[in-house]
Amino acid sequence: IPATTTPATTIPATTTPATTTTPLTTTTSVTICNSGEVKVLGDYTRSAKYGTGAPNYNCDKHDSTAKSPDWQGPGWYRFAAYNYQMMADHAPGFTHCGTAYSGWLNSDHPDVMDGEIKGNVCFQDQKHDCYLEVEVSILNCGDHYIYNLPDTPRCFYRYCGM
């Protein structure tokens, strides 16, 4: 009978470490959310509501002469301006957001408990809501989202806010 009791004690000991690994993911996410590693996209023309006919199109490509004023190359970004707080989740229209090819999230925004997820950003042209697509990472930080964004494939492509 004592031999039966010993394995029963071992089973809860195995369960405890699995429980402690879950908060580590949350702690890492919170650390990224509040770190200086996250850059801010805050140019007002990046808004999905910024209409057509912008005189100077921008792009989110670090080696372009038409680089957006708030683009600092690939990495984690937060959308934070007076007229938007997150990436647009609908096709805003061709020549919106201060560019020709408007970029929008063609995936759901995650819940906090989802952790970091992969999503797709579509770039809209004159005829297609999703002319070209790139993969991004998204993280819900509770009161805001952050996105791990690559350089856009070419100019004049830009990520839009809403």
Q: What is the pLDDT along the chain (162 residues), one digit of tens a residue?
A: 444 444 443 334 443 344 333 333 444 556 799 889 999 999 999 999 997 656 679 999 999 999 999 999 999 999 999 999 999 999 999 999 999 999 999 999 999 999 999 999 999 999 999 999 999 999 999 999 999 999 999 999 999 999
pLDDT given at position 8:
40
Rg from Cα positions in the chain:
21
pLDDT given at position 34:
84
pLDDT given at position 56:
79
pLDDT given at position 78:
97
pLDDT given at position 54:
60
pLDDT given at position 158:
96
> What is the reported pTM?
0.80
Helix (H, G, I), strand (E, B) or coil at 45: helix
Asked whether the bond before 123 is cis by omega within 30 degrees of 0, the reply is no
Closest C-alpha among 88, 92, 93 to residue 147: 88
pLDDT given at position 31:
79
The strand order across the sheet containing 39-41 reads 39-41, 75-79, 145-149, 132-140, 117-124, 101-105, 157-159
